[in-house]
Copies of this chain bind each other. A is one copy, B any other.
Amino acid sequence: MKPRDPQKIDRIHQATLSLVLEIGLAGLTMSKIGKAAKVGMGTIYTYFASKEEIINSLYQSLKRKHAEEIYVNFDETQSFLANFRAIFDIFFQNCYHQAAEYFFLEQCRASPFLSLDSIVLEEAAFARMNALLDEGKAEKVVKNIDNTLLIGYLMGGVQGFLTQLRRTDAELTQAHIDAALALCLDAIKR
């Protein structure tokens, strides 16, 4: 599949994203995607073999994007704390501001559409976070708990925190961010 207009892939992805935020993954239909992306319904099949493939490719591309973004301020020469904070900040901000993307991922997580390689993908993103946590453990500032579990706990915690924050319709303030960081840091502190 070598389509001419790679920009259409983006349009289809973006349409999918907005639609899922609006009507849920279960409400997503091909014709709605086509209309939202301003692309003929049949054209979609030039770029994607099926509805499943749209979802999985978007899922994977978001996962990869997030994995990269998170490390954007990562600096190996900096301290554990500085790097943890750098990662935390971006993750927190992204979860909050790119809610549509996180919502999409959340919807997919438990859906029957997700293919195996999408599920497996998960781990890859954590490589540097793993290393950082190992560093923390070596410095005796991080609890000696399996990294995977630590990461799961931290991400779940932040997302649960933000889920409630959104539910209260409160504005996001620096105090919120500080609070969440404090929770995360104290949690893993040895």
Interface on A for B, CB 8 Å cutoff? 1, 23-27, 40, 103, 106-107, 110-113, 122, 143, 145-146, 148-165, 167-168, 176, 179-180, 182-184, 186-189
Q: For the complex formed by this chain, how many copies does it contain in all?
A: 4
Query: Which of chain B's residues has its CB closest to A104's CB?
Result: B110
Main secondary structure of the interface of A (DSSP, over half): helix
By the criterion CB–CB under 8 Å, are A160 and B161 in contact? no
With A156-B156, A160-B154 known to touch, is A179 a contact of B103 (CB < 8 Å)? no
Query: Which of chain B's residues has its CB closest to A148's CB?
Result: B164
CA distance A156 to B152 in the complex (A): 9
Chain B residues with Cβ under 8 A from A27's Cβ?
A: 112
* Contacts A/B (CB < 8 Å), 5 sampled: A103-B110, A148-B164, A149-B180, A153-B157, A153-B158
Chain B residues with Cβ under 8 A from A187's Cβ?
A: 157, 183-184, 186-187
